[in-house]
């Protein structure tokens, strides 16, 4: 009987406090939203999730090799087929925002292999362009060296 009474009192209190706490949560900055999208791309590559990766790519995507969105998707599938294990390490990301456009500079190391040990590793200086579409930041261009 006491357990039932405790549940009847505690459950509404817990729900109410959760509602209050969610109202106090800070809205994420544009920089934090772009960083989260970069992390989504990184995780999607490592887990070979093409759909998750492509959901972050803008319809007008273009890169330095003149790949559009479809070409990027084909290239990604080729990497997934070639490398069973892919690791992506992103560091030193600097983001600058100009209203609905943004630029990000990052250091990226990519390793890939068919087994546990990487067969190849490459370091890139990456410049990415982002476009805000309906409150979501999408990757619109990419350059690397």
pLDDT in tens, 10-49: 344 444 444 444 445 567 999 999 999 999 999 999 999 9
Q: What's the pTM?
A: 0.78
All structural domains of the chain with their residue ranges: 29-144
Torsion of CA 53, 57, 62, 67, to 10 degrees: 30
pLDDT in tens, 74-113: 999 998 998 889 999 999 999 999 999 999 999 999 998 8
At the top level of CATH, the class of 29-144 is alpha beta
State the average pLDDT over residues 47-63. Answer: 97
* Beta strands 136-144; 57-63: pairing state: parallel
Q: Report helix, strand and coil shares of the chain as percent, to nearest 5.
A: 40, 40, 20
Q: Are 93 and 85 in contact (CB under 8 A)?
A: no
């Amino acid at each position: 009987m006491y357990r039932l009474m405790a549940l009847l009192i505690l459950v509404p209190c817990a729900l109410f406090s959760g509602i209050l706490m969610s109202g106090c949560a800070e809205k994420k900055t544009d920089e934090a939203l772009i960083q989260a999208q970069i992390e989504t791309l990184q995780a999607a590559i490592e887990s070979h999730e093409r759909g998750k990766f492509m959901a972050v790519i803008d319809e007008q995507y273009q890169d330095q090799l003149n790949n559009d969105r479809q070409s990027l998707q084909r290239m990604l599938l080729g990497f997934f087929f070639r490398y069973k294990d892919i690791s992506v390490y992103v560091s030193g990301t600097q983001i600058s925002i100009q209203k609905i456009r943004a630029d990000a500079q990052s250091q990226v190391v990519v390793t890939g292999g068919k087994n546990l040990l990487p067969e190849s590793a490459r370091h890139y200086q990456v410049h990415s362009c982002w476009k805000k579409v309906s409150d979501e930041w999408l990757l619109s261009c990419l350059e690397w060296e």
